[in-house]
Amino acid sequence: MEAWADYFETIAQGLREVVVTNRDGRTLPAADGVSQWVSMTRAVQQRDAHLYIIGNGGSAGMASHMATDAAKNGRLRALAFNDPSLLTATANDVAYDEVFSLPLERLGRAGDLVIAISSSGNSPNIVRALDVARRVGIAAVTLSAMRPDNQARALGDLNFYVPVHRYGWAESAHQVILHHWFDQYLDLHGSGAI
């Protein structure tokens, strides 16, 4: 029974110890980071810009779920780049490292927002997409874990790092953070839920 409690306590401890940094690497209180993220999301909605959410594996599932909620409940122009044809054609014909950066380059515009979810923070396709976002003028929020020196943490306008070292812990914490951000957005700006 203790292993059960320890598992969940590790996730909770990771959430209590989340480190939020801005583009300059300055540490912010987590509540301030979420507040800024909500403001960024509101600005996207007001400009009628796009919200893109990307991730691999379990993070792809979260990306799809959150993009759907953002479009349905938040009235945002939200999209996850996880269509099977888009992924496989890009991976086969271009490179797997380009599965997120290619559609971001084609569809993204300055003023959009990309949320990148990567447990390791070092997935080449995530890092490449964040590089494209910066070049195009797309704001970025990253969620990462594992190592504090992961690449994604240096590429977002806001970076949420959870100091845990297992994928299950990282993905569970990231899901909580994503829901908290979006619930805060809905609480402040109303819901378009059907």
Question: What percentage of the chain has pLDDT greater than the value 90?
Answer: 95
Mean pLDDT of the chain: 96
pLDDT exceeds 80 at position 1: no
pLDDT digits (tens, 9 = 90+) for 25-62: 999 999 999 999 999 999 999 999 999 999 999 999 99
Residue 26 lies in a domain: no
Residue 33: which residues within 8 A CB-CB, separation 6 or more? 20, 158, 160
Residue 138 lies in a domain: yes
Q: Please report which confidence band the pLDDT of residue 175 belongs to, taking 50, 70 and 90 as the band edges.
A: very high
Q: Please report which confidence band the pLDDT of residue 89 belongs to, taking 50, 70 and 90 as the band edges.
A: very high
Distance, CA of 123 to CA of 150 (rounded, Å): 10
Residue 47 lies in a domain: yes
CATH of the domain at 71: 3.40.50.10490
Q: Please report which confidence band the pLDDT of residue 194 belongs to, taking 50, 70 and 90 as the band edges.
A: very low
What is the chain's Cα-based Rg? 16
Residue 122 lies in a domain: yes
Residue 104 lies in a domain: yes
160 Rama sector, left if φ>0, alpha if ψ -120 to 50, beta otherwise: beta
Helix (H) or strand (E) holding 140: strand 139-144
41 DSSP assignment:
H
Distance, CA of 80 to CA of 84 (rounded, Å): 11
Residue 10: which residues within 8 A CB-CB, separation 6 or more? 164, 166, 169
Residue 18 lies in a domain: no
Q: Please report which confidence band the pLDDT of residue 189 belongs to, taking 50, 70 and 90 as the band edges.
A: confident
Residue 194 lies in a domain: no
Q: Do the beta carbons of residue 129 and residue 114 sit within 8 Å?
A: yes
Q: Please report which confidence band the pLDDT of residue 125 belongs to, taking 50, 70 and 90 as the band edges.
A: very high
Residue 13 lies in a domain: no
Read off the amino acid at residue 126. I
Q: At what angle do helices 30-46 and 167-189 cross, to 10 degrees?
A: 60
Strand partners, 55: 117
Six-digit token string for 64:
């799809």
pLDDT exceeds 70 at position 173: yes
Task: Please count the structural domains in the chain.
Answer: 1
pLDDT exceeds 70 at position 192: no
Q: What is the span of the domain harbouring residue 112?
A: 36-189
